[in-house]
Amino acid sequence: MSTISVGANKNHQAEIFIIHVCYHSVVYQAEMRPFVYTANPARVVFGSGTIKQLPDEVKRLGLQRPLVLSTPEQTGQADLVESILKSGGIEPAGQFNGATMHTPLDVTEKALEVVNIHKADGVIAIGGGSTIGLGKAIALRTDMDQIVIPTTYAGSEMTSIIGQTENGIKSTQNTPKVIPEVVIYDVDFTLTLPQGLSATSGVNALAHAVEALYAQNSNPVIDLMAEEGIRALARSLPIIVEKKDDGEARSDALYGAWLCAVCLGSTNVSIHHKLCHVLGGTFNLPHADTHTIVLPHAIAYNAPTVPEAMKKLARALGHDDPIEGLNVLLTKLKVKRGLKEVGMPEDGIDRAADLALKNKYWNPRPIERDPIREVIRRAWDGEPARSDI
């Protein structure tokens, strides 16, 4: 059972979501298909100032010496977590501030040494996908409870997916052992998130919902969450890019990111996420930027085979053409559009295409090398997405 603490505007959004559910349920009655829906077990605390509830959540799990995790850049936030724990009568096991993107195996091993030395009995991860991924990696190996305090819109906190990079190769696995026990969404932590990172992190979240719309194991419940999550992010991110401390837009974006994260945690991913894992792990590219750049091209690749999903995406984006709708949104967000801008060499295009075909996985459109290479080439060059792949 999930617990949600929301402010007045979030109650309003919840009512909107219920209206969407009621409206679209009429459609689904006409086109109902067999499906299986499994809700991942997680306790969600959502609102403004919810970080203050952390000591109660730690005690509820029976933890006595949790280790606080962060990146080097977020040590200050880790310090705040420690002080809140101590004010609540909890003595943490200290901090590990070495989290980094793509969850390198050597970083996980160093963190496990700290866990053992300080006899930690749980982890509290504050940050984005890098820190959350490290917490998952520790939980996978120790079965420790996790509390996650997201500061971006990445969404890893609501999934059973964990990635790991070793010798330049990124691999992923899916296991319920890494699902955090508690997620505390505190809108206040996102108010200072830089506008550029807000945009790319938000598009990364949006990508989760887009692929959920045509996932092999999609279902009507997730379709509704996906469409609403895309809609919330598409309307809030352009506002944040112009005014980063807009509280209502920040709340709206975090709400949308949560819905998109639930979608990612409940369905299988396909070509978009697979390409991003290959590109990010092979060339050490920034995670959110890579997702932002690749998304419209990956969607253009699949669009001809998933017309119903494209209708829902178009509706959520408020544009007749979903591919062009994504192009327009990315232009508004002022994000980088080419992989060459974030460090991918041109001679890596063929290598990435080969790696994308190396492991078999489901996708609504068959994976063929020449079209996939063209997807990567367009993404590398920064071209606007087109539906002629």
Give yes or no: residues 169 and 209 share one domain: no
Contact 182, 43 (CB under 8 A): yes
Asked if residue 23 has pLDDT above 80, the reply is: no
Residue among 251, 260, 331 at smallest CA distance from 296: 331
Tell me, what CATH number does 83's domain have? 3.40.50.1970
Give yes or no: residues 201 and 233 share one domain: yes
H, E, C per residue of 226-257: HHHHHHHHHHHHHHHHHCCCCHHHHHHHHHHH
Give the Cα separation of 137 and 114 in Å (integer). 14
Domain encompassing residue 83: 43-190
Answer yes or no: is 282 within a domain: yes
Contact 326, 293 (CB under 8 A): no
Asked if residue 27 has pLDDT above 50, the reply is: no
Give yes or no: residues 229 and 177 share one domain: no
Last residue of a domain, one of 159, 190, 221: 190
Asked if residue 173 has pLDDT above 80, the reply is: yes
Give yes or no: residues 52 and 134 share one domain: yes
Answer yes or no: is 17 within a domain: no
Comparing 163-167, 242-246, 319-323, which segment has the lowest mean pLDDT? 163-167
Tell me, what CATH number does 353's domain have? 1.20.1090.10
SS3 state at 8: helix
Asked if residue 235 has pLDDT above 80, the reply is: yes
Instruction: Place 217 in a pLDDT band, splitting at 50, 70 and 90.
Output: very high
The 10s digit of each residue's pLDDT in 315-338 is: 999 999 999 999 999 999 999 999
Asked if residue 288 has pLDDT above 80, the reply is: yes
Give yes or no: residues 360 and 276 share one domain: yes
Question: How far apart, in Å, are the Cα atoms of 105 and each of 133, 169, 175, 207?
Answer: 11, 11, 18, 26
Give yes or no: residues 168 and 237 share one domain: no
Give yes or no: residues 205 and 254 share one domain: yes
Instruction: Place 22 in a pLDDT band, splitting at 50, 70 and 90.
Output: very low
Give yes or no: residues 207 and 149 share one domain: no
Give the Cα separation of 53 and 85 in Å (integer). 10
Answer yes or no: is 26 within a domain: no
Last residue of a domain, one of 146, 172, 190: 190
Asked if residue 17 has pLDDT above 70, the reply is: no
Last residue of a domain, one of 190, 216, 250: 190
Q: What is the mean pLDDT of the chain?
A: 91
Give yes or no: residues 135 and 226 share one domain: no
Residue among 206, 181, 226, 200 at smallest CA distance from 62: 181
What would the mean pLDDT of 220-225 be, rounded to a whole number? 95
Instruction: Place 301 in a pLDDT band, splitting at 50, 70 and 90.
Output: very high
- Say how many domains are in the chain: 2
Give yes or no: residues 185 and 200 share one domain: no
Give yes or no: residues 213 and 94 share one domain: no
Name the residue with higher pLDDT: 23 or 297. 297
Give yes or no: residues 93 and 153 share one domain: yes
Instruction: Place 19 in a pLDDT band, splitting at 50, 70 and 90.
Output: very low
Answer yes or no: is 292 within a domain: yes
Which string of DSSP letters, residue by residue, matches 290-355?
Answer: HHHHHHHHHHHHHGGG-HHHHHHHHHHHT-SSHHHHHHHHHHHHT----GGGGT--TTHHHHHHHH
Instruction: Place 253 in a pLDDT band, splitting at 50, 70 and 90.
Output: very high
- What is the predicted pLDDT for the residue at 6? 41
HSE-CB at 340 with a 13 A cutoff on CA atoms is: 10
Answer yes or no: is 33 within a domain: no
- What is the predicted pLDDT for the residue at 359? 79
The total number of residues written for the chain in this structure = 389
